């Protein structure tokens, strides 16, 4: 027989861990269900500077480690499982995982989002063989090699700057003629002598023999294509994709109200179903940062507590 909880949090990123902390402190019986590993996207970040109160030299993993231990300290339980389907109607919510079935009075969805693929032929074949979506994980593999970063937003430019620690050169490939990143971030990138730019350009194809060694790019205005071949001594180069994220909401289609895949909530993190809340990158919002994810999680947990009290 499945164990009954007050609150189940799906996902252990900053939003989920914050929700677990607040729910645990409220003496709610809390379970966090995480598919793989705590942290979400922030766990892939080498340096965190904009989270209030973070220590000098803070990284994604160190911040998440403290959040995780704090949630556990207040009684939150953790289990590794993948939720495959849900029944969220009624006073008892049921989550069906690969390993077990979980039941609760309230659910907080904090499943986050995953990296959006570049979307060109050859991309899948060379993941881990030249193609990556994590500078922290794979940057060191391209020590003194040429590196290409696809994207023009905050993340793309920040990660490009991080990759200059490793690459001989880092070229940002952007489909527009100007970056979308914050002005302060752009200024740093333009001043970095290792960073180059390919404007109005998209990646058309990635090729190689076992490892990536050739990339075809196209100018979106002239339609002229250029083939980039790895240096003979290097035999490869790195291509890092940072062009946005895909919300992890497949199991909630036709159940929760979505907008371009993101869960629609009100300012109290309430979804269209009573007792179901969403927090963090998975929901519709204007800013996706650790600080806003943590805020979402706190609000969701407090609202979940109020909802549970209303059931008595």
- Annotated active-site positions, please? 134, 137-138
Closest C-alpha to 210, from 130, 119, 120: 130
Bridge partners, residue 15, by sequence: none
For residues 129 and 212, the answer to whether their CB atoms sit within 8 Å is yes
Determine the Cα–Cα distance for residues 50 and 110; give it in Å rounded to an integer.
21
* Tokens of residue 28, six digits: 């709610």
212-219 and 225-229 as β-strands: parallel, antiparallel, unpaired?
antiparallel
Where do the H-state alpha helices sit in the chain?
A: 14-25, 60-73, 135-138, 154-163, 183-191, 290-310
DSSP 138-199: HGGGGTTSEEEEE--SHHHHHHHHHHTTT-SEEEEE-SSSS--S-HHHHHHHHH-TTEEEET
Query: Coil, strand, or helix at residue 95?
Result: strand
Terminal alpha carbon distance of the chain: 23
């Amino acid at each position: 027989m499945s164990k009954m909880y007050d609150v189940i949090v799906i996902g252990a990123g900053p939003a989920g861990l914050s929700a677990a902390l607040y729910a645990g402190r409220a003496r709610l019986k809390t379970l966090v269900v995480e598919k793989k590993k705590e942290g979400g996207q922030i766990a892939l970040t080498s340096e965190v500077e904009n989270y209030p109160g973070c220590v000098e030299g803070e990284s994604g993993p160190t911040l998440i480690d403290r959040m995780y231990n704090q949630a556990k300290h207040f009684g939150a339980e953790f289990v590794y499982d993948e939720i495959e389907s849900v029944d969220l109607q009624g006073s008892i919510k049921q989550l069906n995982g690969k390993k077990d079935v979980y039941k609760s009075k309230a659910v907080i969805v904090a499943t986050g989002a995953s990296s959006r693929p570049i979307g060109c032929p050859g991309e899948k074949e060379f993941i881990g063989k030249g193609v990556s979506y994590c500078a922290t994980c794979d940057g060191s593999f391209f020590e003194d090699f040429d590196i290409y970063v696809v994207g023009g937003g905050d993340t793309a430019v920040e990660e490009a700057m991080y990759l200059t620690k490793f690459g001989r050169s880092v070229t940002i490939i952007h489909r527009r003629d100007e970056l979308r990143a914050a002005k302060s971030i752009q200024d740093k990138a333009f001043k970095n002598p290792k960073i180059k730019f390919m404007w109005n350009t998209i990646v058309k194809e990635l090729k190689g023999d076992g490892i990536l060694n050739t990339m075809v790019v196209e100018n979106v205005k002239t339609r002229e294509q250029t083939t980039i071949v790895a240096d003979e001594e290097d035999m490869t180069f790195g291509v890092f994709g940072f062009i946005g994220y895909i919300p992890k909401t497949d199991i909630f289609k036709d159940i929760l109200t979505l907008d371009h895949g993101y869960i629609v909530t009100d300012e109290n993190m309430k979804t269209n179903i009573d007792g179901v809340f969403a927090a963090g990158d998975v929901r519709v919002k204007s800013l996706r940062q650790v600080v806003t994810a943590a805020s979402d999680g706190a609000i969701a947990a407090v609202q979940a507590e109020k909802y549970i009290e209303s059931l008595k």
